[in-house]
Structure 1
Amino acid sequence: KKKNKKTTNKKKKKKTNTNKKKTKKNTKTKKPTKKKNKNTTKKKKQKKKKKNKKKIKQTKQTKKQKKTKKKKKNKTKKKTKTKTKPKK
């Protein structure tokens, strides 16, 4: 069985840049874990939901516009086609 060349190339690991300076993490100064404020997270989630809804609405609108544009284009095309028919 022949190996698929495309997939083997994808599987090859990227070489890491060894010239980059390694930054050491300071583990000595650890901040205490803060409790999350549930209210703010809820508000954030709601905001995200609203944004997503808006995005979906917009995409639907653009799709509709494209469709109508295409329809109009097709209509004009059909009109021109009938004019250029050769006489028998």
Structure 2
Amino acid sequence: MTIEVHVAAPNEEVWKACTSPAYIQQWNAASEDWHCPSAEIDLSPSRKFSYCIRLLRCNCCLADPLRWLLFRPAARHTQGA
């Protein structure tokens, strides 16, 4: 798989954002309902990396055991509600 993205920023900043676990944890989320609690990256020839993303709050809605799960974000509580 190849993913190509063009970013309007200096190469040094983009490299740091894509290779620094602390920065990856800041931007690697699908939406406000997600977060990245851990990120590991090894730029040696073995090229190992691991990013973990999770829903902040979610409920399991449906499941077909050993095949698939459907998660839905939990209802948001708004201030004053």
Give TM-score scaled by structure 1 length: 0.19
Give TM-score scaled by structure 2 length: 0.20
Higher strand share: 2
